[in-house]
Amino acid sequence: MNILILTDFSPQAYNAARYALNSNSGSSKFYVLHASSTGVASKIDEALVDFVARLKKEPAATGHSFYTLPFADNLINATRKAVTEKRIDLIVMGASGKNTSNFQGLGGNTCNVVKKVKCPVLVVPNCEFKQWERLYLPIDLRFPVHTEALQLLQKLPVAPNVSLDVWEFNLNNSEGQIEDFKLPNYKLNRKTLKEESDFFGKFWPEANVKANIIVFFARQLHITEKLLNRLSATETRKQNLPVLILHG
């Protein structure tokens, strides 16, 4: 896999990079990007080299290759360019950065990348890596679902008995349902909910207790906005659940 790590050199960014190393098996290419239109180029280059040097010392770094990507541009333009040129499979970033309190969920840069860059994004809060054994996926059946985007999950190292809990919100009582998720490595558990209040009344409380990670589609705007708003709120100060946002 080609993985892009976005860093502002904060502890949160380094923690996200460590999480990415531990959640990846095989041989992957890690590109570490810092974008700044105001910083001194030599200092940014030096900071990136130091950041990568620390990563290489991590036990999980064995077998991977690392590259630095300094950009004299804004974060969104730099990220889009890197995704295209390096054929990135996954972006990894911290839930918050230097200019965001650790206790206030997603920072502004994180939300912008999720919304404006068409590439899967793994958002990591301040938490240690735990083997992915249970993933929670909310789906709003009123919107198209491109299950091809889920094939990224086949590339990720998961526990042998991993389960994918699919929560299908059928708010219009339609007969439409996804027949085949094409994920042979996962045990599927499916639930259908018919009330909008069930999102925070049933899905969210259970996901926070049982899930290792929440997966959702960026194009499912109704669910995306609910999750991003909740993850960005001050009430999520104890939130330690990574989220994987898919585009497709």
| In the chain, % of residues over pLDDT 90 | 38
Backbone torsion region of residue 185, taken as left when φ is above 0, otherwise alpha when ψ lies between -120 and 50, otherwise beta: alpha
Q: What is the pLDDT of residue 100?
A: 44
Residue type, 28: S
Mean pLDDT confidence for 216-242? 67
Q: Is the predicted pLDDT of residue 28 greater than 80, yes or no?
A: yes
Q: How confident is the model at residue 95 (pLDDT cuts 50, 70, 90)?
A: confident
Q: 22: closest CA among 86, 103, 92?
A: 92
Residue 63: helix, strand or coil by DSSP? Answer: coil
3-state secondary structure 146-186: CHHHHHHHHHCCCCCCCEEEEEEECCCCCCCCCCCCCCCCC
What pTM was computed for the model? 0.87
Find out whether 196 and 118 touch, Cβ atoms under 8 Å.
Answer: no
Mean pLDDT confidence for 95-122? 69
Q: Is the predicted pLDDT of residue 247 greater than 50, yes or no?
A: yes
Residue type, 75: L
For the chain, residues classed under CATH 3.40.50.620 are 2-124
CATH of domain 2-124: 3.40.50.620
Residue 2: helix, strand or coil by DSSP? Answer: strand
